[in-house]
Structure formats: C-alpha cells, structure tokens
C-alpha cells in the first residue's frame, strides 16, 4: 500500500478509531429529524422497528416499505420514552430542508459494501454526499433527495470470465446471465442518483405516487430476497392501501403494486436497442411489475402474513402495452401463460411468501421468508419439486431494556439459496437472480436488487448486538457470507477444497449525536477464504459518516 491510497487509509483509520473510541461531541438527546431521515433501510427506520418490538410503538406491518410521510410522522411522534425520544426534535413543517450527509468508505483489498442504495464502494476510497428537501400540503407530499458518490475504483484481481473488452469486468461466473460487474471499469466510477425522491398522495384509504426511492419487500432487515436497498432505486409508480389498512373482517389488508423501469450497467452482455427485439436482442432496458400483500389476522396481534412477486418484463418497441399493467395480477404458473399465448415465456418472475410475528410484551420478534426464482410450470411441478430454485430466510430480534434511557438488541438473520439436493436429478438448479432471457438478471444499474450475498448459489448470516442510548448507538456484527460456489461433486465425485468462496467479517459501528452534526464510524476486518476460488485475501473496511443538521 503506497501513495495516495496509503494516505486515505491512514486518515480514515485515524478518524474512525477516534469516533468509535470517544463521544465527547455527543449531545444529550437525538438531534433534529425529518421524514427524509427515515428512508428505507436507514438507521432511524431500524430504530422505529426496535421500538415496536419493545412495545413503545403501535403494531404495524413492516413487510411493505417505504412508509408514507404521515406514517413516519405518527411513528416519530409516538416516541417520547425511547432512548432517542424522537418526538422532541421531529420537524414536519410544510417545507423542510433535510440534513446534509457526507461520508467516505475505504476498502484495502477489494470492493465491499451492501444495502447502500446507489453507492458502489470499490477498492480504495469512495466519497459520498447527499442532501434534500421535502414538503407537504394535506395528502400531497414531495421529496427531492439526490445522492452522489465517487469511487476511486483501484485495481484488484478479478475472476477471469474469459471475455474481452468491457465484458472482462462483468460477473466472473455468469457474464451472460447477470449484469453484476466485478469492477466498474479501469478508472474512477461516479454517479449522481435521484435516490429517495418522490411525489405522492397519501390518504387514509389509498396511497399512490411516482418515486425513485428504494422500496422493500418482506420482513428481512439485512438480506431481503425480492427487493431492498442494495441497488439504486428505480423510477416507478405505485398504488396501494393508505395509512389505514383495509378491514376484511377476518384480517386487515395492506397492499401495494408497482410498475417501473430498470437499467443495466455498461458491462452487461446485452447490447443494441433499448427495447426488446428477439431472444438474442432482449433490450438494454427492462420493465418491472410487482405486487405485495400483507394480512394481519383478526385476533392474533403482532402477526403479519405476506406474499410478494417481482417480474422482469421486456420493454416493447411501442412502450408498455395494456397487458403490462395487468402483470402484477398475472397467472402464477407458466402453463397458464402458454395457454394465453405467451409462447416465449420471456418474463422472469421472482416470488416469496413471508411472515413476521412481534411479541411486544416479551420484546421479541421472529420472521421468515420462502422465496422462488423462476415460475413453476404447473401445480404438479410445485408439489413434486418445491425446492426448485428456492431460497429461505429466518431471523429474530430480542430487546433488553436495562434502563429508561438504554435499550439493547440482539439480532440474528440468515438467508440461504445454496444448491439443494434437487440439483442431483435436475442439473441447472440454483439459478437465483439469473435469467437466460432477460440477461441482466435481478439487478438495476449493475447491482443486485435483492440479497447482497451473490447469485446462483449463495448464503449469508449475521449476528448483531446493538446498544441504543440517548447519545446514539453502538453495534457489533459478525457476518458469514458464502459469495459463490462451483464444482460438480455429485457428477464427478471429486472434492474441490476451493469450491466455496466464503467471507467472514467482524465489524464495530458507532454513531453519536452532536449539537451541529451527528458522526459515525465503522471498522470491519474480514477474511475472504478461497476468494475467486483461489487464495485467501483479507480486507479492511473503514467508513465514516457525518450528518449535518439543517437549522
């Protein structure tokens, strides 16, 4: 390590250690917040969920997000006894300037980052900045919250995919099955993204709007199967139930449908026009349609049962046709699609069923999700081979309130979509987030829309302990990420000791409120065993953040 990169490392490591070790700049309470601080996957949204588990917030489903400004306001105003006491400093004027965010990430050996929206943190230094403004008038509201980043994108060893030109940077295993670059070119990579920007209408019974903000499907906190904030948000329109759910007597219904547009990176194997022409020219732009439904059964407080689906759809030359708007409600089995005339079956569907159960009197929640990539041909295939291209997730959180101003949380979450035993009689199994038709796979602008672990056969788990206090939060993490697998032992009987690319990481993160700014730092040390199915490679990940208060 030498030159500018060495200087970046020394500066960030010094600042990170200081921020983690000391809290003398801390204020006595949480700082000013607006609805923009509660973006999908943010630390403030995580805090609201913890309060709900502890019984300090009203019960409400968490499997369809982001929340409306009115719902966020209700949550924040209900927090008068939690560690951060948001009610004291929550601002909800007709026009509000959001806090300005400035941050930096450093990776010593290879790219590492997840659930950070449009940001891609390569090797070396990545600089990040965001700002915003929001406003509302009755049921109408808007947010303008762009984010910009610049990754120095220093060179590192790639997994050879035997391609040349720009394709040499694409995914090492599946360059023609997913748009997931290992590296975004051979120089600095930067983007300005609209991020959490939207115009929306929210009433008691209905919500609708246009947005580029990240949405989240399912109960996961780190590794959602269908959709989270691991990739840039995509432009979409949505319609759903309002701030109050619909009463079906036997249950209350929360629902949302979306239609949007997805883009590829410069390193996708798809070239040519933006729209679909043929299986060999599927178009550089895709459409997407999705639907999510959550039922809260009558008489079972804290339980939510949900189903979601996400479809990648070809972009026709004339633009979306009438059939596209019906996609969220299309038939489930491929057999029925053939019967209706879709002989190509070019759409790519992902679907999942999930649950979450909160026991606020015990300070405990448990949740799970069963996901599927690709469609079953018919009910018979589903009953015979329920493990076909499947994923499963399980997680829990437990709160421990030691004092009136302190709250500890233990969390565990694991997702697994490694090859099942079905791979023995059915070769080709495990194509999670891949597709042979729309070859960009489950991505937007070169990043995974779902779980950050990887594609095809991957897994991830995390154990986290967090302590919330009046001055901020301190968290410890232990992660295991199986990034990829290769080999065909079930055919050859040959054991490959390098067949699993597994990353183990230990991280500590500290965030402290200040009078004029909030400061945060995170240090992660990790070892990637058999990186790219070759050698073990360590990495040091440093992050610093600052949130400058708008006055």
Q: Where are the domains of the chain?
A: 33-91+113-450
pLDDT band (50, 70, 90) for residue 100: very high
| pLDDT above 80 (res 485) | yes
Tell me the C-alpha distance between 496 and 155, whole Å: 28
Please report the pLDDT score of residue 13 as a whole number. Answer: 59
For the segment 429-438, what is each residue's pLDDT rounded down to a tens digit?
A: 778 999 888 9
The two three-digit tokens of residue 155, written as one number: 């060179």
Please report the pLDDT score of residue 491 as a whole number. Answer: 56
Alpha helices by DSSP H, listed for 24-146, are 43-54, 69-78
Tell me the C-alpha distance between 150 and 62, whole Å: 33
Q: How far is CA 350 from the centre of its chain?
A: 15
More confident position, 490 or 467? 467
Beta bridge partners of 409: 399, 466
On the CB side of 67, CA atoms within 13 Å amount to 26
Please report the pLDDT score of residue 8 as a whole number. Answer: 60
Q: Is the Cβ–Cβ distance between 452 and 413 less than 8 Å?
A: no
Q: Judging by beta carbons within 10 Å of its beta carbon (0-12, 13-18, 19+), is residue 185 exposed, middle or buried?
A: middle
What value does the mean pLDDT take over residues 42-63? 95
Tell me the C-alpha distance between 541 and 551, whole Å: 32
What average pLDDT does the structure give for the chain? 90
On the CB side of 340, CA atoms within 13 Å amount to 10
Tell me the C-alpha distance between 98 and 212, whole Å: 17
For the segment 295-332, what is each residue's pLDDT rounded down to a tens digit?
A: 999 999 999 999 999 999 999 998 898 889 999 998 87
pLDDT band (50, 70, 90) for residue 490: low
Please report the pLDDT score of residue 512 as a whole number. Answer: 94
For the segment 264-296, what is each residue's pLDDT rounded down to a tens digit?
A: 999 999 999 999 988 889 999 999 999 999 999
pLDDT band (50, 70, 90) for residue 115: very high
Please report the pLDDT score of residue 17 as a whole number. Answer: 58
What value does the mean pLDDT take over residues 68-90? 93
What number of other Cβ atoms are within 10 A of residue 123's Cβ? 21
Please report the pLDDT score of residue 139 as a whole number. Answer: 94
pLDDT band (50, 70, 90) for residue 105: very high
Percent of the chain at pLDDT above 70? 91
Please report the pLDDT score of residue 340 as a whole number. Answer: 64
Please report the pLDDT score of residue 421 as a whole number. Answer: 75
- Homologous superfamily assigned to 33-91+113-450: Capsule assembly protein Wzi (2.40.160.130)
Q: Is the Cβ–Cβ distance between 522 and 12 less than 8 Å?
A: no
| pLDDT above 90 (res 424) | no
What value does the mean pLDDT take over residues 522-539? 97
């Amino acid at each position: 390590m030498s030159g500018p990169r060495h200087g970046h490392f020394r500066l960030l490591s010094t600042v990170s250690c200081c921020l983690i070790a000391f809290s003398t700049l801390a204020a006595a309470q949480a700082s000013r917040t607006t609805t923009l601080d509660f973006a999908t996957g943010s630390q403030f949204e995580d805090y609201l969920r913890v309060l709900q588990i502890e019984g300090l917030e009203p019960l409400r489903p968490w499997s369809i997000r982001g929340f409306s400004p009115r719902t966020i306001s209700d949550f924040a105003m209900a927090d008068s006894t939690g560690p951060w006491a948001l009610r004291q400093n929550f601002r909800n004027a007709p026009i509000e300037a959001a806090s300005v965010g400035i941050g930096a990430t450093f990776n010593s050996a290879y790219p590492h980052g997840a659930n950070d929206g449009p940001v891609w943190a390569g090797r070396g230094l990545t600089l990040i900045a965001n700002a915003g403004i929001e406003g509302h008038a009755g049921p109408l509201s808007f947010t303008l919250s762009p984010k910009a980043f610049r990754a120095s994108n220093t060179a590192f060893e790639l997994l050879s995919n035997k391609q040349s030109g720009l394709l040499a940077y694409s995914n090492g295993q599946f360059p023609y099955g997913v748009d997931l670059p290992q590296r975004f070119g051979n120089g600095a990579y930067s983007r300005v993204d609209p991020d959490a920007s939207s115009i929306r209408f929210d009433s008691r019974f209905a919500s609708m709007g246009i947005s580029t903000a990240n949405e989240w499907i399912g109960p996961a906190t780190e590794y959602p199967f269908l959709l989270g904030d691991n990739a840039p948000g995509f432009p979409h329109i949505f319609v759903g139930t309002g701030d109050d759910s619909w009463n079906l007597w036997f249950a209350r219904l929360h629902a949302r449908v979306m239609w949007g547009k997805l883009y590829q990176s410069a390193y996708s194997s798809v070239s040519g026009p933006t729209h679909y022409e043929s299986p060999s020219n599927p178009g550089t732009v895709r459409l997407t349609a999705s639907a999510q439904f959550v039922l809260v059964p009558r008489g079972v407080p804290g339980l939510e049962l949900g189903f979601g689906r996400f479809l990648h759809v070809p972009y026709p030359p004339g633009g979306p046709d009438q059939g596209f708007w019906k996609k969220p409600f299309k038939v489930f089995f491929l057999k029925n699609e053939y019967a209706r005339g879709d002989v190509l079956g070019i759409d790519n569907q992902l679907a999942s069923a999930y649950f979450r159960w909160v026991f606020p009197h015990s300070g405990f929640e448990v949740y799970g999700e069963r996901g599927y990539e690709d469609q079953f041909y018919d009910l018979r295939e589903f009953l015979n081979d329920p493990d076909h291209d499947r994923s499963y997730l399980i997680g829990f959180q437990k709160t421990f309130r030691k004092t009136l101003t302190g709250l500890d949380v233990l969390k565990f979450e694991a997702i697994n979509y490694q090859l099942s035993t079905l791979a023995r009689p059915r070769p080709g199994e495990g194509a999670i987030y891949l597709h042979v038709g729309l070859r960009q796979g489950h991505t937007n602008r070169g990043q995974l829309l779902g779980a950050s672990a990887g594609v095809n056969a991957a897994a991830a788990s995390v154990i986290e302990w967090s302590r919330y206090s009046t001055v901020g939060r301190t968290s410890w993490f232990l992660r295991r990420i199986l990034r990829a697998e290769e080999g065909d032992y079930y055919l050859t009987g040959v054991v490959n000791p390098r067949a699993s690319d597994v990353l183990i990481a230990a991280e500590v993160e500290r965030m402290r409120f200040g009078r004029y700014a909030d400061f945060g730092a995170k240090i992660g040390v990790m070892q990637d065993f058999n990186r790219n199915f070759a050698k073990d490679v360590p990495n040091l990940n440093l992050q610093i953040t600052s949130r400058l208060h708008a006055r």
